[in-house]
Amino acid sequence: MEAGDSEFVQVLPDLAGAVLATHIASEMLMSAKEKYEKRVYDDSVSDSRDAIRVAASAVLLRDGYVASTFEATYSYLSHHYQDRLSLEPWHSMEKSTWGDGQGIIYRILKAIGIIKQVDKKQAKEAIATAEKFLHSASEMVGGL
């Protein structure tokens, strides 16, 4: 979590970039909702997860950091913003296999039933998690 940590690069704090990132996250969330309405639940969860990732990166960018991994991002946000961001639902979603993978191995495992399809409830939970996270992150960076 320190500037010298190899999982972080210290940059100049970039409020404009952070606001832009929250806007991009908002677009991703809208895409997740559209896919949910079309009953494409795997893609909806992926877009929800990506929206959170971008919003999380916006907070770090505002603070003058870029993280190289999910765990580094999560650790930084937990240390600095545990009370302001809904982190545990995001962490759980990242650790799940909902909507994971687009490669051939993933598709084969899914086809033979080892990886289960994302259902409507899971997709709805992912969207709700992303909405809550994005709302908090946007307030923090002054976007949306």
> pTM of the entire structure?
0.81
CA atoms within 13 A on the CB side of 5: 15
What's the confidence (pLDDT) of residue 117?
73
Quickly tell me which residue has 């893609």 as its tokens. Answer: 43
- Residue ranges per structural domain of the chain: 8-141
Domain spanning 8-141: which CATH class is it, in words?
A: mainly alpha
What single-letter amino acid sits at 14?
Answer: D
pLDDT at 30 over 50: yes
Distance CA 46, CA 121 (A): 14
Q: Could you read off the pLDDT of 75-119 as tens digits, one per residue?
A: 899 999 988 888 888 878 777 655 555 556 666 766 776 666 778
Average pLDDT over residues 138-143: 84
Q: Could you read off the pLDDT of 47-82 as tens digits, one per residue?
A: 999 999 999 999 999 999 999 888 899 889 999 998
